[in-house]
Amino acid sequence: TASQEAEKRGWHLYLVGGAVRDLLLAETETGTLMINDIDLVVDGFHKTASVGAGVELAKALQEIYKNARLEIHGAFQTAALLWHKDPELNSLWVDIATSRTEFYPYPAANPEVEASSIRQDLYRRDFTINAMALRLTSPRAGELLDFFGGFLDLQAKQIRILHANSFIEDPTRIYRGVRFAVRFGFEIEKRTEEYIHYAINSGVYDRTSQKNSKTPALQTRLKTELKYILLAPYWQSALKLLDNLGALQCIHPTLKLDSELCRQLNLLERCLGRFDRKQTLSNWQIRLEALIGYLKPEYRAKVAKNLQLADDSIARLKNLSHTQAEIITLLPTFDHPSQTVDLLKKYDLPTLILIALQSSRKIRRKIWQYLTTWANVQPLLTGNDLKELGYKPSPKYKQILDDLLTATLDGLIKDKAEAREFLA
């Protein structure tokens, strides 16, 4: 339908980016293909020049598919159609961009102009395997436009950049390259790797951490890329590759995946398995906080802010060293579990996990014991039991229940009968 609508208007329409790559990969490899993110580029002169051809096409499609939601981004450049955002349902996201040359009038039938326009659009992209287009409009619908050798790179299983400045312009492409390499089992091509080193050595952190009008977008993209990587089953291999390339420097120049950080991350995985259902943060977020928490205390809050983490994450990382100092000093002096509970209940689960990762085995065991057992202990009697025992409802109930809890935690009472005796 999209191509018919484009053809009606005398425009060209292309499928571009990841969907073309995944289609070709599915042809060369076995496996199921799940595409729920489609990028289209429309190339056509629009008579009013106040609306992008992409936007007009998206509007026309929404008239036909009324259950799709239409979003328009930027002044008049891109539009998106969205079917079902509910994560439980299969969703489909179709981005429709307008090729750059749309405002220069040219006869749509002129193949030379057409080729240079889509070529320019593809040349702005990151890797050859992501810079192919499939023409959807006639004539020659179904033709693959591959100006930069993307298909050969797919077959050779390599990630190759399009131009030397690409990583300098957008250092988050280093993370994308690593993500694709690990995800598909590809190699990063040698020259591309040299460009990565060049971009990193030219002061990549300065760009990802500076405050200017361009960096918020860059920082958001870095966070998004980190999210994709830390969400994926292959996240540990991806981190290793990022570290080998020196690319963890985009997060902070001192961040290294050394054996201690690996140990902490492995511990974290074991612990995420244990506390899965209680998680307040998703796994990728706590993995990211563990990376930031591994930095020296004075860098943590700044890096968390750079990456635009949520306020509670920033506060957690900012307070981590104080909290840890308090816990390390006090925990070993406690003789009773109730003292541990009184101290640790002040902190949220991610804080305790982050501290456990960085603490001695003895402290860690106490934290685990608190999280797995003591934090779940309830007073043996309820408010109703107290009423039955003849206590008049009053604010004192809380104190009585707290005392009962302390006695339970410290092993002084084991059941309701002992609890009643304790109160008597």
Interacting residue ranges for ligand CTP, rule: CB under 6 A: 17-18, 37, 39, 125-126, 130-131, 170, 172-173, 176
| Cα dihedral 399, 404, 407, 412 sign | positive
* Closest to ligand CTP by CB, 46 or 173: 173
Least gap, CB of 146 to ligand CTP (angstroms): 13
Decide: helix, strand or coil at residue 330. Answer: helix
Closest to ligand CTP by CB, 38 or 303: 38
Nearer to ligand CTP, 37 or 410 (CB): 37
Q: 63 by DSSP, 3-state: which?
A: helix
CB distance 3 to 57 below 8 Å: no
Tell me which residue has tokens 């995944």: 22
Residue closest to ligand CTP when measured from CB atoms: 18
CB of 225 to ligand CTP, least distance (A): 8
Give me the least distance between CB of 309 and ligand CTP, in Å please: 20
- For residues 126 and 289, which CB has a smaller minimum distance to ligand CTP in the complex? 126
CB of 128 to ligand CTP, least distance (A): 10
Cβ atoms within 10 Å, residue 301? 20
Task: Identify which of residues 229 and 261 has a Cβ nearer to ligand CTP in the complex.
Answer: 229
* Shortest Cβ 178–ligand CTP spacing (Å): 12
Alpha-carbon distance of 63 to 59, in angstroms, equals 6
Contacts of 216 (CB under 8 A, 6+ apart): 308
| Cα 161 → chain centroid | 23
Q: For residue 414, give both structure tokens.
A: 């084991």
Query: Judged by CB, which is closer to ligand CTP: 213, or 376?
Result: 213
The residue (of 237 and 319) whose beta carbon lies closer to ligand CTP is 237
- For the chain, the farthest-separated pair of C-alpha atoms sits apart, in whole angstroms, at 96
Q: Encoding tokens for residue 329?
A: 């000093």
Phi, psi (rounded to 5 degrees) for 7: -60, -40
CA–CA gap between residue 179 and residue 186 (Å, rounded): 10
State the number of CA atoms in the 13 A half-sphere of 294 facing the CB. Answer: 23
Q: How far is the CB of 173 from ligand CTP (least distance, A)?
A: 5
Instruction: Determine how many CB atoms are found less than 10 A away from the CB of residue 282.
Output: 13
Tell me the closest approach of the beta carbon of residue 131 to ligand CTP, in angstroms.
6
Given a contact cutoff of 8 angstroms between Cβ atoms, the answer to whether 349 and 279 are in contact is yes
CB of 180 to ligand CTP, least distance (A): 8
CB nearer to ligand CTP: give 224 or 372.
224
Q: Of 200, 203, 190, whose CA–CA distance to 161 is shortest?
A: 190
